[in-house]
Amino acid sequence: MSPELLTAYVVTIVLLATTGLFYLLVTTNLIRALVALELMTKAVTLGLVLVGKLTNNPGFTQALTITVIVIEVVILVVAVGLVLLCHKHTGTVDARNLRNIRG
């Protein structure tokens, strides 16, 4: 892989991770926070596969990436379930309005 193309990949991965992190920090909507998490996971996925190709060890990194994707979908489904449950009980998914914790 040429250095220019590698730089383009690295810049894109960093921009994707930065966008996801910024979105996660700024948004108060819980569903949008999950979208931000997905963006960061895509950056990680791309980075892992790129490193595997560059180090001539694609099998291990690709197997690891598949594992990451599977765990990511499980976490997302549970998180969406939590958000829907929260919406069912409180009527909102805005984190600013979720201030009542009842033991």
Site residues, another protein (CB under 8 A)? 2-12, 14-16, 18-20, 22-23, 26-27, 29, 31-32, 34-36, 38-39, 42, 45-46, 49-60, 62-63, 65-67, 69-78, 80-85, 87-88, 93
Cβ closest to another protein, residue 25 vs residue 101: 25
Closest distance to another protein from the beta carbon of 37 (Å): 11
Backbone angles phi, psi at 79, to 5 degrees: -65, -40
